[in-house]
Structure 1
Amino acid sequence: MSSKIPTVRQTNWFSILPHIGVMWVVILIWQQIDSVDSFLFGAVTYLILSFSLRNLIPRDHRKGIRNNNQENFLAAIKNFEKSYVFFKKYEWIDKYRFLTLLSSSKMSYREMALANIGFCYSQIGDGIKSKVYYERTLKEFPESGLAKSALKMIESVEKNLCE
């Protein structure tokens, strides 16, 4: 089901190498148990592990995405705030997400949470809070292209309103 709300996904292609390594380790473990179907069992085990890690640990973030896609922005903000707090508390999970969550995302969950909160505030018409969250995103993640673009757009609108 497609959404009217834009979604940005950036992939860190280098992180796919550890994923392949994890998959081969799982296949080698199955090789010790059952040499005939080790590849099949290893691949299925990897998929279950990958799906479970990406759906269970960042569950507040996923709820936020769901609420965002359903245009329930106030609920999405709460979910993204919970996600930010969780990944701030356990920064190592976010930092090593290519192994801990088997995630190939280029953006950290904290960066995504802050930028998504900014987006949600813009959608409910609170430009001031939106700008605050995009600025906070840039403060914590100076290379955030998403936050830079959003702030340029906000500044452009502000400039046009003043003219």
Structure 2
Amino acid sequence: MNSRVPTVKQTNWISLIPHFIIMGILIFIWYQFNPEKALLLGAMTYLIISFLLRNLIPRDHRKGIKKNNKGRFKDAISDFEKSYYFFKKHEWIDKYRFITLLSSSKFSYREIALGNIGFCYAQIGNGKKSKEYYEKTLEEFPESVLAKSALNMINAIENKSAQ
């Protein structure tokens, strides 16, 4: 069963500059060996590296997303927790993700993981835990629009049910 789970993706457009520089370097390297196919080989090398980095390093995050999309919210929580702790331990990977993972996302993996845990708890009916995780998201990422919106919705529901 494929659930219609909302996905929000925002791009940090300025982070594309290092991507083009990296691709340019790869094309230049390939130009030294094969000038006729340097553009194609450089672009293919960039795509392969990008694919490997995005699939190998944040693998727990990707597992959680897959489970989340299949509606297996309870199972996804542990994957998002593993992702959060990995990127907490290796903050530099997340901070410089536009180079280390060739990711142009505006959201850090830690912020996404915390928000996703909050979302999963809400989906399994644990509003208290959901609220805790959205509040934790705001503690670490005070500008998190996703966490602010989720907390506003939770608070509105709590206020309505209290009346």
Superposed pair shares fold, TM > 0.5: yes
Residue matched to 2:35: 35
Give the drift of 1:3.
4.7
Query: Secondary structure of the equivalent of 1:37?
Result: helix
5+ residue gaps, structure 2, are: none
Query: Secondary structure of the equivalent of 2:35?
Result: coil
Residue matched to 2:54: 54
Q: TM-score, normalised by structure 2?
A: 0.98
Residue matched to 2:78: 78
Show CA shifts across 1:8-56 (max 9, x none).
1111111111101110010001011111110000000000000110011
Identity of paired residues, percent? 65
Residue matched to 2:124: 124
Query: Secondary structure of the equivalent of 1:36?
Result: helix
**Distance across 1 between alignment mates of 2:32 and 2:148:** 50
**Distance across 2 between alignment mates of 1:149 and 1:17:** 31
Number of aligned positions between the proteins: 162
Q: CA RMSD in A?
A: 0.8
5+ residue gaps, structure 1, are: none
Residue matched to 2:155: 155
For residue 111 of structure 1, what is the amino acid of its counterpart?
E
Residue matched to 1:94: 94
Show CA shifts across 1:77-115 (max 9, x none).
000000001000100000000000000000000000000
Residue matched to 2:115: 115
Q: Structure 1 residue runs of 4+, over 6 Å off?
A: none
